[in-house]
Amino acid sequence: MRSFGSFMQRAVSLAAVCVLAIFGSEASAAGANLLHKSTMAVTNIRAVAGDSSATVNWTAPSGQTVTGYSVIATRAVYDPARKGNVRVSTPPVNVTDPTQTTATLTGLSNGSWYDFTVTAYNSTKWYAVNTNNKKNGGMVKPSTLPTVVSNIQVTAGKKKITVSWNRANNGGDTQTFKVDEYVGGRLVTLVETKSGIKDNHLYPSVTFTGLVTTEYYSYVVTSTNANGSVVSDMSVEVRPNWQ
C-alpha cells in the first residue's frame, strides 16, 4: 500500500500538470519553470464545507506577482483491486483574477473528507503548490441535512410502547435522533421526550414505559446533524396493554 506521502506527491503533481495544460504549453518546455518555492506558494489554505461543495480561501504570496490560481479537491477512495485507498482529485477550478483568493468547488461527495491544493502561477509560468491536509487541520467533509426517517412503527407492551423506524440518510454527517411522545388524540399534549439516540442500528428504537393503559399515544422522530434537524410526520396512535 502506498504511503500518504506518496499520495500527496501525486496530488501535487496532478495540480501542476493541470495548470500546465490550461495555462500554456510553453511552460512545459523547461522543467526548471515548474518550481515549488515557498516564497511563491500561497499560505493559510482554509475550507468551509457545504452541501456537496466547499469554499476554499487562502492568503496570496507576499511580495510576489501572481496572475492566477488553480484549486483542486482530493479525497481517498477505496480501490478493491489494490485493497487500499487511492487519492482521487477533482478537475481544477481556475481563478484568473489575482486579487481573488477564494474559490468554490462543487460536485463533491457528502460524507467524504477532502483536502485542497492551491497552485499559484505568474506570467512567466513559474508555479508554486501548497496543500492543506490532515496535519494542519485543513480537511473538511461536505454534508447536508439528514433525510426524514420513515416507516415509524409503534408496538404496545405492558404499560409501555416501543417506537422504531428506518434509519434515513445522515446527509454525510453523524446524526442523532429525538423522539417526542404525545397523548390525547386531537388535543395532543407532549408528555415525554427521549433525545440523544445514536445512529448505530439499521432500525433504531426506543421504549417509553410507565404509560397509562387508557390513553392513546403517538410519536414524532427528529433527526439532527451538524447542519440542522428534520422532523417526521406523527405516527399512528397506540394504546399500551394493561398486562
| Pair (113, 160) in one structural domain | no
What's residue 136's pLDDT? Answer: 57
CATH of residue 40: 2.60.40.10
Alpha helices, H only, the chain? 4-23
Collect the ranges in the chain with pLDDT lower than 70: 1-39, 125-127, 133-137, 185-187
As a residue count, the chain comes to: 243
Q: Which residue has the cell 508555479?
A: 127
Q: Which among 107, 136, 165 is the end of a domain?
A: 136
| Pair (158, 104) in one structural domain | no
> Do the domain assignments include residue 143?
no
pLDDT tens for residues 103-144? 999 999 999 999 999 988 887 766 677 777 665 557 899 999
What's residue 29's pLDDT? Answer: 33
| Pair (86, 52) in one structural domain | yes
Backbone angle region of 24, left / alpha / beta, with phi > 0 → left and psi within -120 to 50 → alpha? left
Residue 106 and residue 52 in contact, taking contact as beta carbons nearer than 8 Å:
yes
> Do the domain assignments include residue 56?
yes
Residue 74 is part of which domain span? 4-136
What's residue 185's pLDDT? Answer: 61
How many other CB atoms are there within 10 angstroms of residue 86's CB atom? 15
User: How many structural domains does the chain have?
Assistant: 2
| Pair (96, 36) in one structural domain | yes
What's residue 84's pLDDT? Answer: 87
What's residue 34's pLDDT? Answer: 41
Which distant-in-sequence residues (6+ apart) come within 8 Å of 186 by Cβ? none
What's residue 81's pLDDT? Answer: 87
SS3 140: strand
The pair phi, psi for residue 232, each rounded to 5°, is: -80, 170
What's residue 135's pLDDT? Answer: 58
| Pair (172, 93) in one structural domain | no
pLDDT tens for residues 190-213? 888 898 888 877 788 999 999 999
What's residue 126's pLDDT? Answer: 63
E strand residue ranges, the chain: 43-50, 53-59, 68-79, 84-89, 93-95, 102-106, 114-121, 127-132, 150-157, 160-166, 176-183, 189-198, 205-209, 217-225, 228-231
What's residue 82's pLDDT? Answer: 86
Determine the Cα–Cα distance for residues 195 and 180; give it in Å rounded to an integer.
8
